[in-house]
A and B are shown apart, each in its own frame.
Chain A
Amino acid sequence: MSRLDSRDVTLVEAVNMALEWEMAHDESVVVLGEDIATNGGVFRATAGLKDRFGFKRVMDTPLAENLIAGTAIGMATQGLKPVAEFQFMGFIYAGMEQIISHAARMRNRTRGRLHCPLVYRAPFGGGIHAPEHHSESTEALFTHIPGLRVVIPSSPQRAYGQLLAAIRNPDPVIFLEPKRIYRAVTQSVENNGEAIPLDTCFTLREGSDVTLISWGASIMETLEAADVLAEQGISAEVIDVCTISPLDRETLLCSVTKTGRAVIVHEACRNGGVGAEIAASIAEGAWLELKAPVARVTGYDTVMPYYRNEQAYLPQVDDILEAAKRVIAL
């Protein structure tokens, strides 16, 4: 039964709702991954799908991420729309050759004869006291690969609408789910099968003094920082980049042209991070309007610490406030 109601759901429940909706409405959608069928996924993102759609469309795979990545490609060339789950982003690397050399290139190298309408889902990011290799934010690896879309929803509504859009998209989408906020908030989501466009940033809050740019779980701290700034009389615009590749530079430049100041917040390492690309784009496209250099609040250029120290690594509200005040003081 589709749930055609509007109800309060968490981000991970919204993922589940979108998968169920699309599987019910498009027979070519299949899901595969480790522990996703009978167990419903370690985060429950695929709960109930096997019971409703059967093992033929909800497939527990052997424990081999490279195989999952490549099998999805073969299925996609046959016109299926596979949604493959990597249990954690830290385990996606075994599939990188398949993702980079084949999924991202199939349409181009066959001049459109074959293509890969698939979604690779993975929970990512730190902050949940997980074991080693379970907390990384290496989204920038994928933004360097032509032919891939990289989408990171940061609310239940966007998770629902953007996963639908990702599945319906005829090209490969890396869909990274910020697991720190899998259950942090609930939001009313209408289960109506309506997709939310990809390739566009979302302005979550309008402001005039500074643009705060973020994505993923860091959106929470960024919004909180905007609240604090407002109390202090500083009007911050908050943009959720959402599709980090290809990048909607237009929305970002419009905002920075208006505010003249930008602070980019991301959990991933600074060096070569997506923030660097955004900062460069702002420098290229809005430097005459800039009243201060672009600031970045990011993770450090080190290995993600084990969980006793993970909060010391993750950008905090105070870090964002400090950066915002610094650019405003100039």
Chain B
Amino acid sequence: MRQIHEFRVDSVCYLDDQGAPLGDLPPQAKDTDRLLAAYRNMVLTRTFDAKTIALQRTGKCGTYPSVLGHEVTGTAIGQSMARSDVFVPYYRDQATHILRGVSLTELLLYWGGDERGSAWKHCPEDLPIAVPIATQSCHAVGVAAAMRIRGESRAVVCCIGDGGTSKGDFSESNNLAGAWHLPVVFMVINNQWAISTPRSIQTGADTIAQKAIGAGLPGHIVDGNDFFAVTEALDNALERARAGKGGAVIEALTYRLGDHTTADDATRYRSSDDLRQAWEKDGVKRLQNYLHRAGFWSAERETSLQADCRRIVDQAVEDYLATEAEPPTAMMDYLFETLPEALKSQRERIADKYRGGAL
């Protein structure tokens, strides 16, 4: 018997759970400005998350998916991407959206039931939040194909959860990215849970990253709570993609520290012990510890940052709550570029019925 193919999936981690280096750090660790900006974004994201959950609990926001446990991966993606790259999200990417230029008010509008929450003024090419599982991965290869057709040195980052990798969309898109050498990096945020379904039930494969191999893409695993590991893997994959050397799959291992959404109660299906252990690996605290050790951080700076983030979030909430709903006729105004003749009477009916404004 002759072996005709063998594969490997590497796994990278630079910091231990307490933020102490396990060995030499990648060059990105020397970029203090980048580290401080990253930590700031993680704290801002977490502050926004807590506030939005509170808004939902008090009836001021709709169902909302907590981003707890995704701050490190999301921030690393936002930092590694160039402005000219295109982000194709799923629905737990708040940390990345913030760095791409989506305003907190826009995010609140989206989860608060207002389509203008996806009209993103500052990242016009990024795809909107994708709720239908894994569907965005097909769009990502389409965007990447457009870049390749035009011969551009740009790349796409597509986010997906561990549950999403079970859908054909993910496999089909990986397959096309491999076949057409597309500049797309699939970032699998493996937070171990698809609502109540654990990672072990999603696939019999040892890792999700190895699914990339079958599609002709390299697959990497990183500790998703290790900012250095995620950043290095993304920087490398994006550089390779922009240089025309094809795509990659990066599986970032983390843990969904919150409920699936505000409509979920995770205590029904997972133990408090598991959750406690996951908190011990929290990547935000880990980076903070690293910054302290390296002499870049202090209790005073932390207090000041927390206050800044609260102020920014409070302002966004104020703007969101002060934003009036669109007139009901807006439901007809963006369906087509020009409203077809056949639909005009329906729009008029809405206008007549709600002349005084929305209900």
Report A's interface with B, CB cutoff 8 A: 30, 56-57, 59, 61-62, 64, 66-67, 69-80, 82, 97-98, 101-102, 106-115, 146-147, 170-171, 199, 246-250
Contact = CB atoms under 8 A, between A and B. Distances in A.
A57 B150 CA distance: 10
Nearest to A247: B342
B127 A113 contact: no
B242 to A, nearest CB: 16
B115 A70 contact: no
A30 B149 contact: yes
Contact of A64 (B140, B142, B146, B175): B175
Q: Please provide the 8 A-B residue pairs with the shortest distance between their CB atoms, ordered closest to farther.
A: A74-B142, A70-B138, A78-B146, A246-B342, A74-B139, A67-B172, A71-B142, A111-B119
Given A78-B147, A115-B337, A171-B336, A70 B343 contact: no
A239 B137 CA distance: 42
Nearest to B341: A199
B26 interface: no
Contact of A66 (B125, B143, B147, B169): B169
A111 B138 contact: no
Contact of B168 (A64, A171, A247, A250): A64
B145 interface: yes
Contacts of B336: 107, 147, 170-171
Given A67-B169, A114-B125, A247-B342, 13 more contacts: A64-B175, A70-B141, A71-B176, A74-B138, A74-B146, A79-B146, A80-B146, A102-B130, A107-B337, A108-B335, A110-B118, A171-B337, A246-B343
Contact of A170 (B86, B149, B176, B337): B337
A114 B123 CA distance: 11
A249 B86 CA distance: 42
A112 B119 contact: yes
Contact of B118 (A72, A97, A109, A247): A109
Given A67-B173, A80-B149, A199-B342, A73 B132 contact: no
B172 A62 contact: yes
Contacts of A110: 115, 118-120, 128
B125 A78 contact: yes
A102 B116 CA distance: 16
A76 B142 contact: yes
A171 B142 CA distance: 17
Contacts of A71: 138-139, 141-142, 145, 176
B124 A73 contact: no
A248 B341 contact: yes
Contact of A77 (B135, B139, B169, B341): B139
B165 to A, nearest CB: 15
B269 interface: no
B334 interface: yes
Contacts of B115: 108-111
Nearest to A249: B342
B155 to A, nearest CB: 13
Given A75-B143, A77-B127, A146-B335, A57 B118 contact: no
B138 A114 contact: no
Contacts of A146: 335
Contacts of B140: 74
Nearest to A100: B132
A75 B138 CA distance: 10
B341 A102 contact: no
A273 to B, nearest CB: 18
